[in-house]
Amino acid sequence: MSLSCLLEILVHNSASHDTESNDTSTKNNKGGARNNNSPSFWQRYQAPVLLTVVGGAIDTIGFITLFGFFTAHVTGNLVLAGSGLVKGEDGLWIKLASVPLFILTVVVTKIYIDKSKKQQLILSHLLFAEAVFLTAFMIAGLSFQPFIDAGAITVAITGGLGLTALAIRNTASKTVIKHMSPTVLMTGNTTQLGIGLSDYLSNRTSENAKKLGHSSALVISFVIGALLGAVLYVKLSYWAVGLFVLPVLYLSFLARDKDFLQNIG
């Protein structure tokens, strides 16, 4: 073999090696870019966790102060209304009225969602509306307390404002962010936690662990919110509600960002 042929072969092999190296480098860079762009755990779960904490706290504060009135679990008011009817307790009309108020709020919210011309800002607007009604719930509680009559109009007004706030959230959960697990009603999440635990115990894959972690985070967040709501109410009275308005306003601001909407849990 001549020297020129040998040099030609060496040059060809070197060029092929450089091309493969460049291809590998490009793939690695793309993979790195994907990893860098992938949302962190907090970016993905901050919205459901914070909203669940708020839901648990507001429901607990309303139940403690308004004679067992549920601001989130509206069907629970029907159960308590039935119990109150048998026991002859006051405030039956308030618990019964919570259902049509909840439905009316859902109807109005859904009409707004359907007719809104700025679809990207809908979630931001709904969260802001929730914060406004929670603030009104706080102001009403501070103004009317102490509540001494379960059937008083002051109880109805205060409870209705809290219920309206969380009815807006419930509507958003069923429409705008229906891919996200519910952040107010925990029955489904608790059921999913049991299913996830069963799946993980029988098949310990990373996917099953991820699902279990997701449902666990929501249930634990609700428990934390309920405990925080009770403790802070004892310390701060209805001013405690203001502390739970802040994360809703924070998420309302974040919801104006397209990347946040794409990564939301």
| Nearest C-alpha neighbor of 172 from the set 63, 59, 225, 248 | 248
Residues 62/184, Cβ–Cβ less than 8 Å: no
pLDDT at 80 over 90: no
Looking at per-residue pLDDT, the higher value among 106 and 83 belongs to 106
What's the mean pLDDT in 152-162?
A: 96
For 38-152, where are the alpha helices, taking DSSP H only?
41-65, 74-87, 92-115, 122-144
Query: What per-residue confidence (pLDDT) applies to 11?
Result: 43
Task: Kindly report the pTM of this predicted structure.
Answer: 0.81
| Nearest C-alpha neighbor of 74 from the set 63, 88, 64, 87 | 63
pLDDT at 17 over 60: no
Q: How many residues does the chain have?
A: 265
Query: What per-residue confidence (pLDDT) applies to 182?
Result: 75
Query: What per-residue confidence (pLDDT) applies to 37?
Result: 62
* Cα-based distances in Å from 55 to 70, 80, 170: 11, 20, 10
